[in-house]
Structures are given as structure tokens and as C-alpha cells.
């Protein structure tokens, strides 16, 4: 039913698309690097084949590369962000790591640290020495262009649903695997437990719930909620929750009907640290050969509640069974988000208030959340939707 001769696109992060630069405009004939176009075309081909052969229900997952480094896009997407409107006055306001944060919170530059053609000779990323504003503005412009290029390809899929007559009975979800830092805290890309690295979009549109389209909620959801949410909206049975090998997310579709519904107490993320430099007290990001957990030296668990982001770092290693030792707390961070309206991504996680005696109860509560884990943070049973027929219990 599907043309098996179509080249498998595979996984390619886009590294090296710009050579020794982190951001670049792709020439119109540089089709070898138009990978996202190929992903979109393949997804459309699969949907068209399913339509032609009466296949259903079906699930198509299209994972676009952009805006991963290298930030590459055809020139027309760069033109959406004129250079004279993307100058040094558009870069991050808080360009260095918070002095009140433990050193473990920050980590070296990420993939951009290898872009030697962009960086001054001898430059080393550090929590107190951000890249210069001119380069930061260029990188951010490249990121914006890459996002718009990705968005254009998402539009191809939505147009295909209309063209194939599938829009009225297809659930669409858009999400990302991690957040992003664009010079805030002297950080680029992901690699931290700060809000910008952990926060992701989660957009769901169900055609049979047209009245819910355009609604937004401040309720806390997690990426693990995506599968049970989409499955429930499709009327498919859900696997069991809270058991070994089961899904660890909840059906968040009730929030479509009532965005104010009492929901999760918190959402959890985590990030590891490797290669401590004893001279500086700074860690390296865990990547390449150090991706194996035996190289992890510390693990940071972060819980985002309605008003706070709490992160606690623990010793991690083979000395205690190869995992996290929750009795070996290393550092604690607490950031106030009580007035966070979600419209200023540069304003928060600037002052670590974990040691303020006034926040002792908040620290205690969130420390327990981290230790209890996700099962204690789930929505109250009274808020959850009935599980579809045939669902596991």
C-alpha cells in the first residue's frame, strides 16, 4: 500500500548543515539539506496511501529536525526576520547564570561550542562570559528562521488533511521533545533544568470538539500525556497506568472542555551531569560517549508546580546501584513563578530562593514531590475522564 521504494529519511539532527557555523541560509538548490521537506512529503504520502486503501484508524508521527542546531533554512525564511530588526537589542536580557544558583545548574555550550567559525579564538563558554551580542543576535535570527521553516512544513501536513478530506476526523497534536535557551543564563540549546529548557508546547486539536479550538490552559501537562490523550480522543482503549512497562501519562483531554479543571500538582523533568572539573566546580554536559549512565555523576530532578520550579541535585553512580541516591542531596534550587503569565521567557529563574527561611515550607513540599515521583502528582480521580471501553485497569 505504501511505496516502499521511497527513501527512508531516518534520523538526522541537522548537525553540520552549516559547516563550522551554527546558523546559515541554505541555497535554493541545496536540496540535500531540505530534510524537513522530505519528512513532510513522506508523511503526506503515507496519509494519502491510507486514504486510498481505506486503512484506519491510523497514526502518523512526523518528527521535524528544525530548529535543531545547525539553525539552517532557505533564505526566504531568514527574510522573514530582517537583520536590521534582529540586532543586539533583541538578545537575552539576563545573559549570565544566576549568582545564587549552584554551579551544577549551568553546563557548557552544547553543539554550538564546536562552531569555531563563529566563536572568537580561544573563547570558552562559561556561566559568566556570554557570547557577544552581535553573534547572539545572529544565532537567534537563525533559530527564528529554522522555526518558521519547520512551521511551513507542518502547514503542508495540515493542508494535506484538508485536501484528502481527512481534516474532520483526524486528531492533530503538536509538541516538542525539550525546551530551548537562546543565550539566557549564558546557555544555548537545552541541557539544564531551568524553565526554558524544560517547558514545551503541547497543542491538541480534536475535530469533534470544535468549540474547544483556540482554548488555552495553565494546567500542568507532560509529554508522557500525549499518547493517552490522543488515544482517548480517538476512542481507543488505553493501556494500564502505574505498573511496570505501562504508560506514565494521563489523558489530558478533559482540559479541552474545562481549561480551569484542577489537574496535576506538578510535572517532572530531569537532566544529568558528567565530568566534574574540580578546579572550576563546573560539570560538562552528558553527551557522546558519556551518554551511558555509568558516566553520570549527578542527576537533577526538577518539579514545576503552579507557582514554583524546584530542582534538587543528587549523587548518581555505580557506587549505589547505578542510579540516583536520594539520600545524597547535593544542591537545591527554588524559583518563584507565582506571577508568571507565560509571556516573558527571560524574566524567571533568576534568583534561587531555596535558602530563604520564608520558603522553608515550599522547599519541604517540593522536595517530597521529587522523592514521591510522578504517581503522587497525577490528577485527582474526580478530574480524570472515564477510560474508554476496553482500557486496561
Mean pLDDT computed over 292-306: 90
Residue 1: band (very low, low, confident or very high) from pLDDT cuts 50, 70, 90? very low
Q: What percent of the chain has pLDDT over 90?
A: 77
In angstroms, what CA-CA distances link 324 with 150, 200, 299? 37, 25, 7
What confidence score (pLDDT) does residue 108 get? 86
Alpha-carbon torsion (50, 51, 55, 57), positive or negative: positive
**DSSP H helical ranges for 29-179:** 35-53, 75-78, 133-163
Is pLDDT above 60 for 321? no
- What is the Cα–Cα distance from 129 to 294, expressed in whole angstroms? 31
What confidence score (pLDDT) does residue 208 get? 95
68, burial (CB in 10 Å: exposed 0-12, middle 13-18, buried 19+): buried
Q: Give CA torsion, residues 200, 176, 258, 339, to 10 deg.
A: 10
Mean pLDDT computed over 178-200: 96
**Domain locations along the chain:** 1-95+130-157, 267-376
Rounded to the nearest integer, the mean pLDDT of the chain is: 91
Is pLDDT above 50 for 3? no
What confidence score (pLDDT) does residue 322 get? 66
Amino acid at each position: 500500500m505504501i511505496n516502499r521504494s521511497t527513501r527512508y529519511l531516518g534520523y538526522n539532527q541537522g548537525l553540520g548543515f552549516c559547516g563550522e557555523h551554527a546558523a546559515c541560509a541554505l541555497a535554493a538548490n541545496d536540496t540535500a539539506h531540505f530534510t524537513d521537506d522530505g519528512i513532510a512529503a513522506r508523511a503526506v504520502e503515507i496519509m494519502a496511501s491510507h486514504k486510498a486503501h481505506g486503512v484506519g484508524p491510523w497514526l502518523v508521527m512526523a518528527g521535524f529536525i528544525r530548529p535543531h542546531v545547525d539553525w539552517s533554512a532557505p533564505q526566504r525564511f531568514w527574510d522573514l526576520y530582517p537583520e536590521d530588526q534582529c540586532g543586539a537589542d533583541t538578545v537575552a536580557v539576563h545573559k549570565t547564570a544566576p549568582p545564587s544558583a549552584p554551579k551544577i545548574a549551568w553546563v557548557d555550550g552544547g553543539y554550538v561550542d564546536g562552531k569555531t567559525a563563529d566563536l572568537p579564538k580561544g573563547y570558552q563558554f562559561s556561566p559568566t562570559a556570554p557570547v557577544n551580542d552581535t553573534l547572539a543576535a545572529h544565532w537567534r535570527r537563525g533559530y527564528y528562521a529554522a522555526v518558521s521553516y519547520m512551521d511551513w512544513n507542518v502547514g503542508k501536513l495540515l493542508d494535506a488533511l484538508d485536501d484528502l478530506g481527512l481534516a474532520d476526523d483526524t486528531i492533530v497534536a503538536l509538541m516538542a521533545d525539550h525546551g530551548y535557551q537562546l543565550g539566557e543564563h549564558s546557555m544555548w540549546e537545552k541541557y539544564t533544568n531551568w524553565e526554558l529548557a524544560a517547558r514545551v508546547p503541547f497543542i491538541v486539536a480534536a475535530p469533534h470538539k470544535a468549540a474547544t479550538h483556540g482554548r488555552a490552559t495553565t494546567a500542568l501537562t507532560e509529554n508522557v500525556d500525549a499518547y493517552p490523550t490522543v488515544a482517548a480522543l480517538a476512542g481507543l482503549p488505553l493501556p494500564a497506568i502505574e505498573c511496570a512497562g505501562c504508560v506514565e501519562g494521563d489523558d489530558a483531554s478533559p482540559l479541552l472542555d474545562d481549561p480551569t479543571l484542577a489537574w496535576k500538582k506538578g510535572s517532572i523533568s530531569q537532566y544529568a551531569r558528567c565530568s566534574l572539573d574540580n578546579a572550576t566546580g563546573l560539570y560538562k554536559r552528558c553527551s557522546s560517549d558519556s551518554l551511558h549512565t555509568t558516566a553520570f555523576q549527578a542527576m537533577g530532578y526538577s518539579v514545576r508546580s503552579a507557582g514554583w520550579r524546584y530542582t534538587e541535585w543528587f549523587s548518581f553512580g555505580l557506587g549505589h546501584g547505578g542510579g540516583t541516591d536520594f539520600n545524597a542531596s547535593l544542591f537545591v534550587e527554588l524559583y518563584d513563578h507565582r506571577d508568571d503569565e507565560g509571556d516573558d521567557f527571560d524574566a524567571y529563574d533568576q534568583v534561587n530562593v531555596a535558602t530563604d527561611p520564608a520558603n522553608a515550607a515550599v522547599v519541604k513540599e517540593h522536595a517530597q514531590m521529587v522523592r514521591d515521583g510522578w504517581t503522587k502528582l497525577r490528577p485527582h480521580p474526580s478530574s480524570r475522564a472515564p477510560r474508554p471501553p476496553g482500557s486496561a485497569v
